[in-house]
Amino acid sequence: MPTSAPAPCHGPCNTAWRRAEHRRTATGTDHDIPVTWGTPIHCADCVDRTGDYLADLPHLLDLVALEALDGQRGVPSASTHGAPTDTTPWPGQAARLLIDHIAGGLAETAATVRALHHHRDQPLRRPGIREAEWIRESVNTLFHAVDWLLQEHPLATESHEPLRRAHSVVHSGNPAAQVAHWHTAATRFTRRDRAPETKRLAPCARCGGPWLTECRDLHLIGDEPYIECQNPECQTLYRPDEYRRHVKDLVATTRLKHREDSR
């Protein structure tokens, strides 16, 4: 493994820190969000999380395959980057598209590991192998090379956050980001993700828009999540105490205005 000076982890553990640093550079606003260091590129927690996602994927894809028997969700729910169409889906199409997308991605990444890490050239899919076994072989290859994937893969330093273009999203080529993307897609498809509690949040203090939401993908402070502005031109992050202070100031301002209007 190449040696280098300590650098911030490229994983989601530092998403809050990176955005706060970007805001500090742009506006001069200081912050006290701690940084997590990579070892040397991703931290141990990010490596472990990616391994957990990989280990869970074969079971999730088994559940996705059952969707054709239990009910059809429709193509737009299954496609991770396509637009809805007027074409009537055939039974099981949504599940099939998602499995093809994830299984193909796993196989391509596993082929990269075999070529660059193990220096072996093998076909993307062995002739005659069943799909479930093919998926498990790919996952097994990636799971046992997860540290190499996150520390030495050529794209391990690429940002985890997708590029947002006019009407499309280009997902990161970082292996950890890809695994997380596949796991999230399969989890949502199988309805194993918990629907977040709907809360009415205050408008953003910076842009004034109604886009604030709890961001549970970032490290929590105690048991409380960060609050994030979903406006792509703002993306302000609030610590729980900062958000409570913002709400308190809004309430005080509203009460003062109400008293003045009542005179």
Q: Is the pLDDT of residue 136 over 90?
A: yes
- Whether residues 178 and 203 fall in one domain: no
**Residue 6 falls within a domain, yes or no?**
no
CB within 8 A of 46, min separation 6: which ones?
9, 11, 12, 13, 150, 176
Q: Is the pLDDT of residue 81 over 50?
A: no
**Residue 7 falls within a domain, yes or no?**
no
Structural domain of 110: 12-193
Mean pLDDT, rounded, of the chain:
81
Q: Which residue has the higher pLDDT, 132 or 221?
A: 132
**Residue 4 falls within a domain, yes or no?**
no
- Whether residues 128 and 227 fall in one domain: no
Q: Give the pLDDT confidence of 85-108 residue by residue, as tens digits.
A: 445 556 678 888 999 999 999 999
- Whether residues 42 and 107 fall in one domain: yes
Q: Give the pLDDT confidence of 173-212 residue by residue, as tens digits.
A: 999 999 999 999 999 888 765 544 445 678 888 888 777 8
- Minimum mean pLDDT among 106-115, 134-143, 160-169, 190-199: which range? 190-199
Q: Which of 16, 9, 17 is nearest to 39 (CA)?
A: 9
Q: Which of 139, 114, 147 is nearest to 60 (CA)?
A: 139
- Minimum mean pLDDT among 15-19, 35-39, 152-156, 238-242: which range? 238-242
Q: What is the pTM of this model?
A: 0.67
* Confidence at residue 195, expressed as pLDDT on a 0 to 100 scale: 47
Q: Is the pLDDT of residue 164 over 90?
A: no
Q: Is the bond preceding residue 40 a cis peptide, omega within 30 degrees? A: yes
- Whether residues 149 and 256 fall in one domain: no
| Average pLDDT value for residue range 149-161 | 92
Q: Which helix (H) or strand (E) holds 241?
A: helix 240-262
Q: Which of 193, 227, 250 is the last residue of a domain?
A: 193
- Whether residues 69 and 185 fall in one domain: yes
Number of domains in the chain: 2
